[in-house]
Structure formats: structure tokens, C-alpha cells
Amino acid sequence: MSASPWKRRRFLSAGVSSAAATFSGCRRNQNPWRFFTLEEAFLVEQICQQLIPADQDAGGREAGVVNYIDRQLAGFHSRQQNLYRRGLVRVDEIARAMFQDRFTSLASERQVAVLEEAETKETAFFNAILAHAMQGFYGDPRHGGNRDYASWRMLGVPPRPVRGRQQYDLTRGRG
């Protein structure tokens, strides 16, 4: 593999700070999200952190997956807004039924148990958020997820080269 000069760059777009920080640190009425309420964003972030947990590499939260999902629900995936609104309520209902508390207050193993339940009981919503979480984590950073190329770095895939027009390396073929 060619040596890849990873550049850590700060992303300047709105809403890339973690939803948790936003939730606790901001005053009310300062919701930075396009679609989610602050509570919803926090819940989505917690779910995504279980779908793609942090370990030695970034997880769904660090990679800004909630930002990706929020953007798409206000854009390309806007038809799924209701699915999310209802699905998130259902996840909390399952959490209360199983452990008498809201999802975001549960310990990690319990959150996993709730999601396993949601996977079979709320299939449509679960499949949607799972697909979107994977897109936001492994997809192109331009859509608001995969912050700092977190997943590509984990996989050892070079970042997208930044090229000006006509600034191409044409030496890799036979020419």
C-alpha cells in the first residue's frame, strides 16, 4: 500500500460535536439538529454506539454517525422521518418494559439486550437505523459521518485524494 499521509482535519460543519455534549451543554431552544430533537439525537447516538461500538478505534459516536443520519432524514431519506420518530419511541418502550428505565440510562449490556429485542420486534426501524449507521460510519465523509475518515483509517484504506482539476497521477498505468 502506498504510504498514506493521513491528515487530521477539523470538520467545521454544524452539529459535528457529540450529541451528548450538545445535550448537556447547551441551553434549550438551541437545537443544532436538522430533524432530531436533542433527546432523540442523544438516543440515536447511544443506539449507534452499540451498533458500532468504540474499541481501540472510533465507534459510531466518535465518527459522527448521528450527524449523517440527521442530515439524511432532513434530506434524501426524509420519507423515513415517521419511521424514526415512532421507532425511537418504541426503543424506549422496550427498554422500560425490560429494565424499567429509558434506553439512554441503561448500562451497555442492557442496551445491547434492548437492541436485540428491537431487531426482532421493530424490524423495519431497526433495519433502517442499522443501514444508516453503517452508511454514516463506513461511507464517504462528505455526507457528515465517518469523521476524520475514522473507519477508513481503521480499515487501512487511503483517504480520498484531494485533487485540483487536472492534478492527476497518470503514472500508475503503463503509460
Partner 1 sequence: MALERVNAVVVGSGAGGGIVAKELAQAGLRVVLLERGSWVTAYDCRKDDLRNQRTTVLGNAFGPDDERHPRVVVDESGRERTLRASEPGYHNNAGCVGGGTASYGAMAWRFMEKDFRMRSTYGAVPGSTLEDWPLSYADLEPYYEKAEWEIGVSGDDAGNVFRAPRRRPLPMPPLPPNRECQVLRPAALRLGLHPFDIPMLRNSVPYNGRPACMRCRWCVGFACEVDAKCGTQNTVIPAALKTGNCELRCDCVAGQVLLDERGRAAGVAYFDARGRYREQPADLVVVSCAAIESARLLLNSRSRLFPKGLGNRHDWVGRNLQGHTYPRAAGLFDFELYDDQGPGAGIAVCDYNHGNPGLAGGGMLANEFIRLPYQFVAQVPRSAGRWGRGHKEFMRKWYRRSMSVMGPVQEMPMFDSRVEVDPVVKDHWGIPVARLSGGKHPHTLEVARYMAGKAEAWLKEAGAIHTWTVVPGPGLSGGQHQAGTCRMGGDPRTSVVNRYCQVHDVDNVFVIDGSVHVTNGGFNPVLTIMALAYYASAHLVKTWKGTRMRS
Query: In the complex, which residues of this chain contact partner 1 (CB under 8 A)?
Result: 1-2, 50-53, 55, 57, 59, 72, 76, 112, 115, 119, 130-131, 133-135, 138-140, 142-143, 151-152, 154-158, 160, 163, 165, 168-175
The grid coordinates listed for 112 are 445491547
In whole angstroms, the minimum distance from the beta carbon of 69 to partner 1 comes to: 12
Q: 38 vs 51, which CB is nearer to partner 1?
A: 51
In whole angstroms, the minimum distance from the beta carbon of 53 to partner 1 comes to: 6
In whole angstroms, the minimum distance from the beta carbon of 97 to partner 1 comes to: 21
In whole angstroms, the minimum distance from the beta carbon of 151 to partner 1 comes to: 6
In whole angstroms, the minimum distance from the beta carbon of 160 to partner 1 comes to: 6
- Pair 151, 59: CB distance under 8 Å: no
Q: 38 vs 115, which CB is nearer to partner 1?
A: 115
How many other CB atoms are found less than 10 A from the CB of residue 50? 19
Q: 22 vs 135, which CB is nearer to partner 1?
A: 135
Q: 16 vs 112, which CB is nearer to partner 1?
A: 112
Closest CA to 17 of 7, 34, 1, 32: 32
Q: 101 vs 140, which CB is nearer to partner 1?
A: 140
